[in-house]
Structure 1
Amino acid sequence: MSHAPVHVVVADEQRLLRESLCALLDTEPGIEIVGQTGDLADLFTLVTRVRPDLVMIDVQMVPADDRVAIATRLLHGVPRCRVLVLSELEQPRLVQSLLDLGVHGYLHKGVGYGTVADAVRAQHGARSHQTVTLPLHRPAPHLAGSGPVTGTELSARELEVLTHAAAALSNRQIAARLGIAEGTVKRHLSNIFEKLDAVSRLDAVNKASSMRLIHPGNAQGAPRLRVAT
């Protein structure tokens, strides 16, 4: 006896990744994509309309202060749904807080497609289980200590934004340079401030420079990542 497929909504600002993932997942047995969006403002309207079993969301599209609230609203709203996070963020404290809240999985975008498909299928029925995958050099969420989040967790895009900020570009100029929305730049900066424990652009730039994460004055080139050893 076959089961009804898992109805999935995918929410991610990265259009190419979102559309590619939806196209792939929609070919998988037991999975049906019923909607997708790159706009947080449209997400709840979409969820109310299509009533998915699962929302796969990149919490990086949500301002840092609102992530727990958004997850809570998805998990306990009308209609209720399960939540699977697929994100580049590598913040053990955030991961643990979302899992404690009841999110059904947290996957890093560095995982393979098969892992994502398996995690979606795992949400079928009442026996779903939490799935967590983070890069191997990161501590598992339940083992994470109370130490501060470090700058090594800045994503490549965040480093690009910060490099341009170091060159005194405005949010609008950074958005035009990178081909993204101005609101997305603001969210990246909010994430950067949180990760670096910075109180301003200048503070973030100074901290990132001292850690050799960025090289101010080199905004025309790609930011250089510090390799963890």
Structure 2
Amino acid sequence: MNPRDAVAADPASATTRVALVDDHALVREGVREILESQDDMVVVSEAANSGDAIAQVARHRPDVVLLDVELPDGEPTDTVTRMRALSPSSQIIMLSMYDGPQLLRRLINAGIRGYLLKSVCGDELLAAVRSVHRGSDRMVLAVSRDSLARMQGITENVLSARELEILELVAQALSNGQISTRLTITEATVKRHLRNVFAKLGAVSRIDAVNKAIAASLIAPPHDQSCHRHRAG
């Protein structure tokens, strides 16, 4: 095999295609300059809002998305969820001015691969992009010590997508049998997932698990409960 062909076939040496999403043009220009100073990186799209960003990710299928937490037209977890549905192979790194642990928890559950404060240096940004593109199993976090302390254990105890899906249905008062029918899985599988949920949350009952998940911003409160409270008021 030609040595050049071997290099081209190595995923670690392939060009990383990056999408930039930030509502400040100056920030995008600065990040683009950092990325394109590297021989192995290219910016394939830029967007200033969530709607355009989602459309561009669907069109270009970038390797990595650098996504600003604060966009004028979208809630960050919704934006991440939609991007991952349209381009599952795109790895998303959030860029933010702050690192609140509850928001970080929700974004990790939505499927981000990294969370960086905008105070990081260029070398840290480049290292994070390369890390997630190379398929490392590690979550890339550059946040404050306080947030790390408050987030201790989240990467080990975070609920899987299926566990969250089942817990949301439990919050809607569905029985195990109804959940199994809704998700087209066996009732035994539902029970197994719930045992895992209880263990991860330290819950002793279905209600306890739901309450703890809502308090930790892992799931949203059921709509019917909100409506009930509104009517009662």
Interval of TM-score (by shorter of Structure 1 and Structure 2):
0.5 to 0.7
User: Residues 49 and 73 of structure 2 are in contact (CA less than 8 Å); yes or no, is this contact kept in structure 1?
Assistant: no
**CA distance 1:103–1:62, change in 2 (3 Å):** farther
- Look at both structures and tell me which one has the larger radius of gyration over its CA atoms: 2
> How far 1:43 sits from its partner (Å)?
1.0
Q: Which whole-Å CA distance do the structure 1 matches of 2:153 and 2:70 have between them?
A: 20
User: Residues 92 and 144 of structure 1 are in contact (CA less than 8 Å); yes or no, is this contact kept in structure 2?
Assistant: no
Gaps spanning 5+ residues in structure 2: where?
Answer: 1-6, 155-233
**CA distance 1:4–1:110, change in 2 (3 Å):** same
Q: Which whole-Å CA distance do the structure 2 matches of 1:60 and 1:36 have between them?
A: 15
More deviation in 87-96 or 43-52?
43-52
User: Residues 11 and 37 of structure 1 are in contact (CA less than 8 Å); yes or no, is this contact kept in structure 2?
Assistant: yes
Partner of 1:55: 65
| TM-score, normalised by the number of residues in structure 2 | 0.56
User: Residues 93 and 141 of structure 1 are in contact (CA less than 8 Å); yes or no, is this contact kept in structure 2?
Assistant: no
Q: Does 1:22 align with 2:38?
A: no
Q: CA RMSD in A?
A: 2.3
Q: Does 1:8 align with 2:21?
A: no
Q: Displaced runs of 4+ in structure 1, greater than 3 A?
A: 136-141
Amino acid at match of 1:53: D
Of residues 82, 103, 115, the one that matches 2:112 is: 103
Matches within 5 A, 1:173-192: none
SS of the equivalent of 1:36 reads strand
User: Residues 7 and 52 of structure 1 are in contact (CA less than 8 Å); yes or no, is this contact kept in structure 2?
Assistant: yes
Of residues 128, 133, 136, the one that matches 1:124 is: 133
User: Residues 57 and 86 of structure 2 are in contact (CA less than 8 Å); yes or no, is this contact kept in structure 1?
Assistant: no
CA deviations over 1:17-63 (Å, ceiling 9, x no partner): 11111111012132211111112221122122222111110111156
Gaps spanning 5+ residues in structure 1: where?
Answer: 146-229
Higher percent of residues as helix: 2
CA deviations over 1:177-212 (Å, ceiling 9, x no partner): xxxxxxxxxxxxxxxxxxxxxxxxxxxxxxxxxxxx
User: Residues 58 and 86 of structure 2 are in contact (CA less than 8 Å); yes or no, is this contact kept in structure 1?
Assistant: no
